Amino acid sequence: MAPPRLGTLAEDLALFVESATDRAVLLTDAEGRVTAWLKGAETLMGWGRDEIAGEPADRLYPIGDLTAGLPALERAAAADNGPQRSEGWRVRKDGSEFAADTTIVALRNPDGSLRGFGLSIVDITARKAAEQALAHSELHVRSILATVPSAMVVIDELGTMLSFSAAAEKLFGWSEADVIGRNVKMLMPNPDHDRHDQYLSRYRSTGERRIIGIGRIIVAQRRDGTQFPMELSVGEASSDGRRIFTGFIRDLSEEQRAEFKLQELQSELIHVARVSAMGTMASTLAHELNQPLTAIANYTHAASDLLGRDGAPPVDLLQEAVSEAAKEALRAGNIVRRLRDFVARGEVEQRVENLPDMIDEASRLALMGARERSVRTIFKIDPAIEKVVADRVQIQQVIVNLLRNAVDAIGEGAVREITVTTARDLQGMVRISVADTGSGIADEVQAQLFEAFASTKEQGMGLGLSICRTIVEAHGGRIWAEPREGGGTVFQFTIMSADGEEIDE
Ligand code: ADP
């Protein structure tokens, strides 16, 4: 094959360079005056070949660069050190500027003397913009990663970690450099560690979301191998057909610890309450049973007295005494059953009950013998306040206790009155008061009135009011005492009204 003619090569090269339209190619003499201006230069810079020929190429530089003598400096550098490449602003004929990548080469004569320069100017505005946008978004992502308060991990479809926030570094003990490019499963203990690749491939093939957009509580593993609970929310994004997943992680170990503490505390409290309730109940079983048993004794004594009398026994009175005794025996059985249930279940059996009936029954029991002691009882029962939510036996015990205490307090006083009142209280509650004209609360028990074993009585166990409080509070009510105007004490307690409800049978 014959070697190509040199002339043809030069012509081909010229043609080739001339065809380049994406850059301005020009030649200058040693002083920087334009000697050749190719088509690309026309297109990019706006000057026609004839306009620019012989003009200084310095005209392509912005004024600031000209003042600084930049074109001459660049030419000198190219002459001294070989081809120079730089980025800077260039000016079109219309005065508009663009970012350019300029290469300048010194051209020499065969004797080595400087003949001129070749310049190639490429418009890099678009590239610059893209680079800047990228840098900006990179910066943006960096700033998010550095400041987002929750740990954030970005992975690709294969689980390779792409970024790792500052909070994640702190949480996991790994630095970003440690983890970038590695499989995210390194942050998980088993079973997730071994299954995570599978989770991802299943998601890729089925698109079935198990965690994305849902959020889960899972266990994660720190660098030191310790594990902690975390809440993970995963978001998905795709660009150019590639998917990335962003995981936001909330460390739950603190919260869980606090919650666990709370649970511990609660169960402790329940335990304490249970033990004290059981203690109170067990030791007061006798106390409570005393009431119906005493009543039974009284009724049977009375019956026996009646039978012992001369003449025909008064059948009605006998019948009443015996049936009251039977009622009290049932009541005693009920108390035992309820106390046992209470201890077993720790709760009361609340139903809708008729309050006036409950008060009537309890008063008959509590005030047995009171008339003989010439205590007057006044009932101010509001008939409109009928239905309450109560464990009948327990609330009756409260009423009985308060009435018994009232009778005791009146003792041998001059005014001997007990007033039982019902009234509406705030927020759907009903208030029951027992007022006496007695001695008033003794100073020594005032402070612990409702606590166990506070008593001023020789035979007293000091349990009655503490049981009252337990019962009333279990009913969602409260109990308190205050001095009565004109002497004596008013005990009051509240229970829930059940207006509009049917009475439970
Ligand atoms: P106990 O009846 O075994 O004494 P309680 O809990 O019923 O136990 O009462 C505790 C103490 O409160 C009594 O000993 C008494 O001093 C005082 N108390 C209770 N009710 C009254 C009242 N209505 N008037 C004056 N003091 C009372």
- Is a pLDDT exceeding 90 seen at residue 12? no
- Is a pLDDT exceeding 90 seen at residue 257? no
The residue ranking higher by pLDDT, 429 or 265, is 429
Q: How far apart are the first and last CA of the chain?
A: 121
Predicted confidence band at 5 (pLDDT cuts at 50, 70, 90)? low
pLDDT per residue over 326-378, tens digit each?
A: 998 888 888 777 665 655 445 567 789 999 999 988 887 777 666 667 788 89
Predicted confidence band at 271 (pLDDT cuts at 50, 70, 90)? very low
Instruction: Give the residue among 103, 79, 65, 64 at the shortest CA–CA distance from 31.
Output: 79
CB-ligand 1 contact for 410 (6 Å cutoff): no
HSE value, Cβ hemisphere, 13 Å, CA-based, for 58: 18
Q: Which of 375, 449, 491 to mutate to test the pocket of ligand 1 (most atoms within 8 A of CB)?
A: 449
CB-ligand 1 contact for 457 (6 Å cutoff): yes
Q: What is the mean pLDDT of the chain?
A: 83
pLDDT at 225: 85
The residue ranking higher by pLDDT, 92 or 140, is 92
Average pLDDT over residues 90-109: 92
CB-ligand 1 contact for 32 (6 Å cutoff): no
Predicted confidence band at 141 (pLDDT cuts at 50, 70, 90)? confident
Contacts of 442 (CB under 8 A, 6+ apart): 456
Predicted confidence band at 274 (pLDDT cuts at 50, 70, 90)? very low
pLDDT at 27: 93
Output the CA–CA distances (angstroms, integers) from residue 16 to 20, 34, 37, 40, in the order listed: 7, 20, 14, 11
Ligand 1 atom closest to residue 467's alpha carbon, by position in its atom list: 6
Helix and strand element counts for the chain (H, E): 15, 17
CB-ligand 1 contact for 352 (6 Å cutoff): no
pTM over 0.75: no
Report domain 351-497's class: alpha beta
**Centroid of ligand 1 to alpha carbon of 98 (angstroms):** 99
CB-ligand 1 contact for 284 (6 Å cutoff): no
- Phi, psi for 504 (deg, rounded to 5): -70, 135
Average pLDDT over residues 173-185: 89
pLDDT per residue over 427-462, tens digit each?
A: 889 999 999 999 999 998 888 898 867 778 776 667
pLDDT at 344: 47
pLDDT per residue over 380-408, tens digit each?
A: 999 999 999 998 878 888 898 899 899 88
pLDDT at 345: 46
- Is a pLDDT exceeding 90 seen at residue 91? yes
pLDDT at 34: 94
CATH tag, 130-251: 3.30.450.20
- Is a pLDDT exceeding 70 seen at residue 267? no
CB-ligand 1 contact for 286 (6 Å cutoff): no
**How far is residue 92's CA from residue 46's CA, in Å, rounded to a whole number?**
6
Output the CA–CA distances (angstroms, integers) from residue 502 to 148, 366, 394, in the order listed: 58, 28, 20
CB-ligand 1 contact for 436 (6 Å cutoff): yes
Q: What percent of the chain has pLDDT over 70?
A: 85
Q: Which fold has domain 255-345?
A: Helix Hairpins (1.10.287)
Angle at 52 between CA 51 and CA 55, to 5 degrees: 125
Domain regions of the chain by residue span: 14-123, 130-251, 255-345, 351-497
Predicted confidence band at 284 (pLDDT cuts at 50, 70, 90)? low
The residue ranking higher by pLDDT, 225 or 280, is 225
pLDDT at 468: 86
Nearest-CA residue for ligand 1 atom 14 is 455
Ligand 1 atom closest to residue 450's alpha carbon, by position in its atom list: 6
14-123 and 130-251 have identical folds: yes
Q: Alpha-carbon torsion 31, 36, 37, 38, what sign?
A: negative
Average pLDDT over residues 217-235: 84
CATH tag, 14-123: 3.30.450.20
pLDDT per residue over 405-420, tens digit each?
A: 998 899 888 889 999 9
- Is a pLDDT exceeding 90 seen at residue 270? no
- Is a pLDDT exceeding 90 seen at residue 315? no
The residue ranking higher by pLDDT, 288 or 171, is 171
**Centroid of ligand 1 to alpha carbon of 391 (angstroms):** 23
pLDDT at 504: 67
The residue ranking higher by pLDDT, 467 or 145, is 467
- Is a pLDDT exceeding 60 seen at residue 167? yes
HSE value, Cβ hemisphere, 13 Å, CA-based, for 86: 17
Ligand 1 atom closest to residue 465's alpha carbon, by position in its atom list: 6
Output the CA–CA distances (angstroms, integers) from residue 222 to 173, 195, 219, 330, in the order listed: 6, 18, 10, 66
pLDDT per residue over 29-57, tens digit each?
A: 999 999 999 888 999 999 999 999 999 99
CB-ligand 1 contact for 487 (6 Å cutoff): no
70-74, 91-95, 159-163, range with the lowest pLDDT: 159-163
From the number of C-beta atoms within 10 Å of its C-beta (0-12, 13-18, 19+), residue 200 rates as: buried
- Is a pLDDT exceeding 90 seen at residue 127? no
Nearest-CA residue for ligand 1 atom 13 is 455
pLDDT at 314: 84
Contacts of 392 (CB under 8 A, 6+ apart): 351, 353, 358
